[in-house]
Chains A and B, each alone.
Chain A
Amino acid sequence: MIALAKVRSVTAAASSDADLISAHAAGDPYAFSELVKRHRDRMWAVALRTLRDPEEAADALQEAFISAFRAASSFRAESQVTTWLHRIVVNACLDRMRRRQTRPTVPLPEAGPGEPVAPRDAMSDRETSLIVQQALMELPEEQRAPIVLVDVEGYSVAETAQLLGIAEGTVKSRCARGRAKLAKVLGHLRNRIADANVPADGVNVQEQRQWEGR
Chain B
Amino acid sequence: MTGMERVPMGPPWSVDLIADLHAGVLPPEVAAQLRPRVEADPEAVEILQALDATLEDLHALPPIPMPDHVAARIDAALAAEARPAAPVVSLDEARKRRNRRLGLGGAGVLVAAAAAFGVVLAVSPGTQKSTDNAAQPTPTTSSAPGNAAPPLAVKGDDLGSVFGEVLKAQNYGPLETPDRLAGCLKGGGITSTSKPLGISPITLKGKEAVMAILPGGAVGQFRLVVLDPDTCGPDKPEGVLADNTIKPR
Contact = CB atoms under 8 A, between A and B. Distances in A.
Contact of A173 (B8, B23, B51): B23
Interface stretch (A13-21, A75-83, A95-103, A206-214): A206-214
Please tell me the size bucket of the interface on A.
35 or more
Contacts of B111: 29-30
Interface in B62-98: 62-67, 70-71, 73-75, 77-78, 81-82
B55 A44 contact: no
B61 A211 contact: no
Contact of A177 (B13, B19, B71, B82): B19
Contacts of B186: none
A90 interface: no
Given A1-B102, A44-B64, A190 B46 contact: yes
B81 to A, nearest CB: 5
Contacts, number: 176
B197 to A, nearest CB: 10
B20 A208 contact: yes
A121 interface: no
A61 to B, nearest CB: 6
Given A173-B23, A182-B54, A197-B14, A189 B47 contact: yes
A1 B101 CA distance: 5
A211 B47 CA distance: 21
Interface string A138-179: 000000000100011010010000000000010011011101
Interface string B109-122: 10111000000000
Contacts of A49: 64
Contacts of B64: 41, 44-45, 48-49
A170 B203 CA distance: 54
Interface string A1-41: 10010000000000000000000000001101100100011
Nearest to A58: B70
A204 B17 contact: yes
A48 B12 CA distance: 38
Given A172-B24, A173-B25, A180-B19, A44 B54 contact: no
Contacts of A91: none
Nearest to B82: A29
Contact of A193 (B27, B46, B73): B46
Interface in A178-212: 179-180, 182-184, 186, 188-190, 193-194, 196-201, 203-204, 207-208, 210-212
* Main SS at interface, chain B: helix
B230 interface: no
Contacts of B18: 197
Q: Which of B17, B60, B67 has the most CB of A within 10 A?
A: B17
B58 interface: yes
A44 B64 CA distance: 7
A136 B58 contact: yes
A177 to B, nearest CB: 7
B78 A70 contact: no
A190 B58 CA distance: 19
Contacts of B61: 45, 129, 132-133, 136, 152
B195 interface: yes
Nearest to B86: A29
A211 B78 contact: no
Nearest to A63: B77
B66 A180 contact: no
A168 to B, nearest CB: 9
Given A32-B78, A32-B112, A188-B49, 17 more contacts: A44-B66, A44-B70, A48-B64, A57-B70, A61-B66, A132-B61, A154-B59, A177-B16, A179-B23, A179-B54, A186-B53, A193-B46, A197-B12, A197-B13, A199-B16, A201-B14, A211-B25
**3 closest pairs, A vs B, by CB?**
A188-B50, A176-B23, A200-B16
Interface of B: 5-6, 8, 12-20, 22-27, 43, 46-47, 49-51, 53-55, 57-67, 70-71, 73-75, 77-78, 81-82, 101-103, 109, 111-113, 195
17 contacts: A29-B111, A29-B112, A32-B78, A33-B78, A40-B74, A69-B82, A129-B62, A176-B25, A182-B54, A183-B47, A188-B49, A188-B50, A189-B50, A200-B17, A208-B20, A211-B5, A211-B20
